Amino acid sequence: MDLKQVASFVKIEHTLFSLPFVFIGAYMAGDPTILQLTWIMIAAVGARGLAMGLNRIIDRDIDAANPRTAGRHLASGTMSLQTAWSLCAIFLIMLVGGAWMLNPLCLYLSPIPVAAFVIYPYLKRFTWLCHWWLGGCLALAPAGAWVAITGEISSNSWYPDLMLVSLGVLVWIAAFDLGYAQMDIDSDRENGVNSFPARFQPPVTMTVMLLSIPVWAFAFSTISVIGTVASLALVVGVLVASGSQFQNWWFRSHAATGWILLMAMQLS
């Protein structure tokens, strides 16, 4: 097993969604040191890898039954289950170790994201609300980084700005996932996956996606109005003009959103 296989297994490119909001949460909390940012990144990468690893393990049978995902490592048999669990153990050590090096509260709260990651793959077997749960998992990124810097949650300093940003991430990721899940409508119906598009059809799904945009745009304006406008223009442009390449550009526009916001925040 080499680093390329590990990166492919955990979809390292998906880290582009959460990592900028980790930095945003840290800088909203104060003036982080290089050492703090280093341990935050270690914990964040561990959390992201653990989330994807658990998802791949729990969903391996569903992945095998879906033509789009049948080539994934566990579904195709190119990686053993033992190896996948070993990788999850390494990522868990990164998450807990990074939290431990930051402050006691981070360590104390570290089981929360782990529990959220375990619940998500099972949740989509029972309810179409799974998309918003996934959004909630990523909403932990700015909140966790904020706690990493402040070391406390007893004051109201996180309200309302951090709360709005986390809410924005939740809604933004849920809307992204709704668009992405439209590729798997037939497979989801056949395999008992309760995705929103499979339950309510693409027109209703698109309506919910459109209604989500002003919600996350308002929330992200807390970070930067200019960055939010730029991100908004990018996402809306994809909805209007991407055509047959919708899924590819939908991914790229959302992967860029957090980095645009982070850059605008640093320049303001």
Write out the residue range of the structural domain in which residue 95 sits.
3-267
Q: How many percent of the chain have pLDDT more than 70?
A: 99
- The CATH code of the domain that includes 248 is 1.10.357.140
Q: Tens digit of pLDDT for each residue in 198-250?
A: 999 999 999 999 999 999 999 999 999 999 999 999 998 988 887 778 888 89
Q: How many percent of the chain have pLDDT more than 90?
A: 74
Q: Tens digit of pLDDT for each residue in 155-185?
A: 888 899 999 999 999 999 999 999 989 988 9
Q: Tens digit of pLDDT for each residue in 79-100?
A: 999 999 999 999 999 999 999 9
Sign of CA dihedral 81, 4, 178, 20: positive
Q: How many domains does the chain have?
A: 1
Q: In Å, how far are 55, 224, 231, 265 from 221, measured between CA atoms? A: 32, 5, 10, 10
What's the predicted TM-score (pTM) here? Answer: 0.93
Q: Is the peptide bond before 197 cis (omega within 30 degrees of 0)?
A: no
Q: Does residue 105 register a pLDDT over 90?
A: yes
